[in-house]
Chains A and B, each alone.
Chain A
Amino acid sequence: MSTTFPRLMLEHATARPQAPALREKEYGIWQTVTWSQLATLVRELAGGLHQAGLQRGQHVVVVGENRPRLYASMLAAQSIGAVPVPLYQDAVAAEYVFPLNNAEVGFAIVEDQEQVDKLLELRDECPRLERLWYDDPRGLRSYKEAGLESLDQLVERGRAFVAGNPRWFDEQVAAAQPQDVAALFFTSGTTGHPKGVVHSHFTLIDRARAGASFDRLSAAEEVLAYLPPAWIGQNIFSYAQWLACGYVVNCPESADTVTIDMKEIGPSYYFAPPRVFEGLLTSVMIRMEDAGALKRWMFKRFMDVARRVGPARMDGRPLALIDRLRYALGDVLVYGPLRNTLGMSRVRVAYTAGEAIGPDLFVFYRSIGINLKQLYGSTETAVFVCLQPDNAVRSDTVGVPIEGVEVRVTDTGEIHVRSPGLLKGYYKNPQATAEVLTADGWYRTGDAGFLDASGHLKIIDRAKDVGRLAGGDNDGAMFAPKYVENKLKFFPFIKEAVAFGDKREKVCAFVNIDFEAVGNWAERRNLPYAGYADLAAKPQVLELVRECVEKVNADLAEDERLAGSQVSRFLVLHKELDADDGELTRTRKVRRGAIAEKYAALVDALYAGRTSQHIETQVRFEDGRTGTVSADLAIIDAKIFAPVRRAA
């Protein structure tokens, strides 16, 4: 039963050579690559890499968007026992230095000129990096760097090599064992250097198969691959499960065309972090506000029906006849067309993971008939730990442990996991490995949570982030920052939020407005603005955000345990939090500590009771230059509600 990725690929190529393996939209047309074409390409690439001197066990960096030839490169490296290391394509060059040196990388395969430039820039810092291949030759014609070549040249040399050694490739594939290292994933990490998570063919394939059997995935699924391939989530869904199930992975034309491409493909299996679902919903809401009166009325009316009836219907609970009729009418008039616009008409199983999803956002998708579920996992666990079964989906849990997984909760509330898919360790970092893996094989997740009565796992926050208020009216009350931030972020006008409150007497927050949504809102009110900073400082916008904050406070007051977490003061930041400035991780999680440090003056002002504060910040532009922006930010007080005390 144990196998490796290249063996899986060869099995598909033998069993169904003409079936599509990958599609890529290019020049306006979906171009198909069959399994047999893929196998030929991988064979030739492997020959080329072997000739270039790539040895068993060495690392090959792969940087780029989801491109068929980059996927083939990963397979080619694995075929000869080398280890692909996918890195985030939107990272700045400096972020590659550590992974390149840590993994002693001598070979890199990248997408285009942008990535070539970044890696060439690092040649002094990463002297081991000798050979560099690129997929897209545009703009690279005049480059005369030593060791720089196009993938076409690599394929050509490989073709000549395998022609002369017809049995070589199959011998190589047969020599690779399931326990061999298959890939190295660098976690973005909120502090310090990234850590390289080592996974074997066995761990990845085991989890990929467990997830596939849980949802009965088949070779008939269609998947759209548009998230960074360096993220294990994308890698599992469009690489490990792709090879395990043999379904079709579709690569969009460009990052800007994802919504169009998704509508054309109509994926049946879909995976995205909450922010993507949030972004989609925001764009729908904006378009609805611009729609005609009749459409708006219809949308509002049937969304009310959907909210009431949809979730129950999705869970397979019995419905009153009148509700069934109402929902059916809504499906024809609103939900069906809406699903089509979102590109989710054919979605059979959709997952969200990466971080907690707002309950309202989650229910929205389920209410319009999309089988959105949550799963729980991380890079270290090869994703699949807990999944929500169909018909047992709740917005506040992440599902039940699946086949092969054991879960336990420690006395401190931290969740521990044991499964066949656990990492082999962190690369060249035994200390960090010892910190997360216990002697008897449990992995410490660092998440706080518990298993509820029905066996579903509920996550509250990162164990280290859950804090307590100190002093003031709510002394000792629990403070779960992410819980508060997620509630704020559900409003389409709020893009990011950062809540502070641990060891303080009250909760205060930074808010980032959503430029598109608030810009649109301002335009409809004839409110002129010059740019992001200007818009964020408009009194009307501050008032808008205050309303959102107060709604969240009213909501928090409903739950006695969380009433103390109400946001008493907030400010709207003058710039968008950005991964390039070290404020977000590459997967767009807020780095609360880094932000608190960088904007210490603002945090002090919030707690010192000041009404405005001047701030100057360094920003990094996309081309790597830096500059400063400064602004005077107003600090706003929000209304606090008395906790609702329910009779027992």
Chain B
Amino acid sequence: MKLAVVLPLFSEREFTDFLGINLIVNCLRKQGHEVDCLDLNVALVDFILTEKTILQKIGEARVSAFGGAENSPYHEYLRHYYKHLAEYKNAKQLKDSHLYDYFFQSVILESFAGKLISQSANPVGNSQLNEEQSGLAEFFSSLMGDFEKSVYEAVLVSIPHYNQLEPGLIFVKKLKSICPDVKIIIGGSTITLLDDQVLLDYVKNGYFDYYVKYTAEDKLTALLKALSEGSGVEQEWLARKVDTDIDSQTMVYRPEQNRSAVPILFSRGCYWGKCSYCTYIQLDSGKFTRKSLDVLLDELEQFSGKPVRISLITESLTPADARSLAEGILKRRIKVRWGSFIRVNANFDAALFSLLRESGCIFSCVGVESVNDKILSFFNKGYKRKEVYQFFQAASDANYRFYQVNFIYGAPVANLSDELENLAFISSFRKTIGNIAFFKFEITEHTHLAENLDKYDIKLDPQSSVTAVRVGNLPFVYSLSEDEMNLLEQAYARAGYYFVAQDVKLSIKALQGAGDRPLPLSGDVLFSQAGQFYLGSLRTPFLAPISPDLFQALSRTPKPPVREFSEGNLKQFFDLKLLDREATFWETFAD
């Protein structure tokens, strides 16, 4: 069959980042289907860069919206930014120049996302679809023209993230009106977590023909076979929990994956599976299922020596699996840089952390969430403060550094002092942590907490204006005041900046190691105004006044050698993203 697999607006992550979508595309192609992968985010960027008048209008609106004196340096910077963008013809050119991400954030999300998405905490109804107000009517019209020409027999739409639900519904509704005979099948994590009655209403109202929950390969195989024979399958079966052969869900190396993260599935379900707020464990059969070690090692072997970050997809790697995998990688001399989610567990000792480091496990992520016993008990994490400190001490003893450590703040049982314990912990182990991420606590439907609100004395707040990140969010009354929440966020942000600054320091050191090479700077916006010189960036909104000497040096082609720039200059270039920390990392890796 001729099929399209579609990723709707608005995703900052690329099509290839989504493991589930890639596995489905691989599976369908193996079965002989002709599959086009259509990322509507890329399509929108292509459209904006083709329709220069739209880009020009966006630019003018941004300049005038900035306010203040019309000829301020920032107005001048914006004019330079949009003039420069007009030179690009499509998303690929932006990606090749590493300008896509900021363009997507600053132009696409800023100009369209807020207008298209109603930001309702609950799944949307027909009346809330804002396509007409979004300024995207022309884009959708052009897109539908392309779909009409392509004559797909079925269109598969994946909704990985909740904020893609509304744009996804707008897309399928329009597609159905233009191509009523095309079968539309919708799936993805967000769909799996939505109630069947809501989804059945959408089917009834003509948004899509079928929805698929949980792992989709086997179900899609059967459904597409039935459709090609002129029949269909029971919707109820498509929504059931299934067991899929995890050993068949493998990835293949492709050169375009270089210098990016490659998701590789290792397990489904979670060996702990009892966190009171977690919905991830509802995304599959509920059983903890692991890929055979030999299958995983064969898969990893393809990536040996390649400049990719292997991101092992697992809710949490057990200590025993971590040991077997690290030993297997070392025994088979597989040269990979890999990472996984790891849960705080006393069986991770210093020896195991040393083994992990030796095997190339430098991208591990730990969801500590909190070090306060009251909050940990509320989250039902299965460990206490003492174990968290022991776990991190073991890593520290082995000179192991976690790539990222996650925290959750805003639990209804927490006061400010409880929350600040996390900051003290982060400070204590700052040499063992590569970066931190902090998330505001949300309660979602079907979790243990959602079903025991009274037991935990949680008061719902239907009037809350807090924007939901996850599907089925149940807004509740926070115990922290707005000022306390702001204070906490500021403190986390400062701690987070510390880790970024440490990374920048390492990158500067690496760069200075090859001081004779020309400064690998790109994406700069240089201009002068009223006798003052400025340095801006095509990758951040920041603008810095600079000295005439620095202005002159940066105006030279090729750029002067690295050694001619001070450490302060180099730091500023990294802050403006004119120098690339990722590129510096991979150059070190290649050495």
Partners in one complex: no
Residues of A whose CB lies within 8 Å of any CB of B are none
Residues of B whose CB lies within 8 Å of any CB of A are none
